[in-house]
Homo-oligomer: A and B are copies of this chain.
Amino acid sequence: MSASTETGREPGRARVDRWRTSAEVLAEVRRTPGLTRVELARRLALSSASVTETVTRLRGTGWLCEHRAPVQGRGRPTTSLDPAPDGPRVVAVDLRHEDWRVGLAGLDGEVTGVVGARHDRDPARVTTALRDAVATVAGGHRAVAVGLAAPAPVSADGLVRATELAWEAVDLGSVTACLGPGPVPLRVGNDATLAGVAEARTGAAAGAATAVYLTVEVGLGGTLLLDGLPHLGAHGAAGEYGHLPFGDPAQRCACGATGCWGPEVDGRGLARRLGDPVPDDPRSYAGDVLARAAGGDAAAADAVGVAAAALARGIAGVVHVHDPDVVVLGGLARGLRAAPGFDDAYVGALMAFRRDHPVPVLDAVHGDAGALHGAAALALDHATSPEGLAERSGE
């Protein structure tokens, strides 16, 4: 997750600083659409004079619009601030192993006009297809940034190294080429990370200062979200929760370590418990087992119960380390949470002082649109930052 543009012009502090309050206002409106001017002034400790000035500017640049707020009691009615329906847009891209989706979002983060297609994994052809789709989706609107979710680790320079696609350091910078005028910034993030971002902004963890997002697909991954921002680590490799050694030390993981948590709770773990060979597609295998367990298959239910308990026990450990406001589960983890025994295993694995008020473990609400929503949020973060606003202020 990183910027692909770098502004190098020197003194520049005032040029960016000018937009700091505007950026805070936009962030507040994103967090709470329909906010009143009075409430905004209170939250940002601004005088009404300053609110007038800043809101006027943001209406002028097209970001905000105002509505009469419903009257409550005496006094002059205040107005509420909302994302302008015809304001600047960002393009969100979700690149997956076999297909991609592209959509358009405004300040409210709603992704609309989604188009998609399958792809053949050839970097050049995928890049071209995405560039065209981005241009089409943006058509007519003022697109000010692009966010992209990639099914792979993303290094600090924004390059994508997708081993499963056999991509080595692919630079996706050109997908913004048909936008403009002027260069349009691209921000790239990992798909699981961005799904976590989506949950932390508008999903099950909305408003949480500290949230943990965990998802089970093939293996287990996740993100620590601090005030809605993912912790990426020194090299962008943070969040490998699936390789915490919570499991059986005798089991060797494909990652090279032993006793990893991930392979105990995904399709491979279920297969081992059921005596099946390692499945080719652990994702759909696990879906089948969950369905059989729900349908009354005792052996499947037993295997699911073991995996659910392993998931629950590990989540407790993660809670001890992060002390989050909430843990959000995506992918197959939702099915495991629904298994009988999960809650008891979770509470039982918590430290005693936590058991009266266990940290809630909730299902993700964005489903498989999480990465796309997170990509939109990432692009909006840039576009509404002081730097992003300053970049475009000349227009």
Residues of A within 8 A of B (CB): 10-13, 16, 21, 42, 44-47, 50, 208-210, 224, 226, 231-241, 243-246, 255-259, 313-314, 316-317, 320-325, 348-353, 355, 359
Contact yes or no, A351 B256, CB < 8 A: yes
Q: Which of B16, B233, B236, B317 contacts A244 (CB 8 A)?
A: B317
Contact partners of A246 in chain B: CB under 8 A: 244-246, 317
Contact partners of A232 in chain B: CB under 8 A: 323
Contact yes or no, A238 B13, CB < 8 A: no
Chain copies in complex = 2
Q: Complex Cα distance A172/B240, Å? A: 40
Sample (22) of A-B pairs whose CB atoms are under 8 Å apart: A11-B45, A13-B45, A208-B234, A210-B233, A210-B234, A210-B238, A224-B321, A233-B322, A234-B324, A236-B323, A237-B323, A238-B322, A240-B321, A241-B321, A243-B317, A244-B244, A244-B320, A246-B246, A255-B353, A256-B350, A256-B353, A257-B349
Contact partners of A234 in chain B: CB under 8 A: 208-210, 323-325, 359
Contact yes or no, B46 A239, CB < 8 A: no
Contact yes or no, B256 A314, CB < 8 A: no
Contact partners of A241 in chain B: CB under 8 A: 320-321
Contact yes or no, B208 A238, CB < 8 A: no
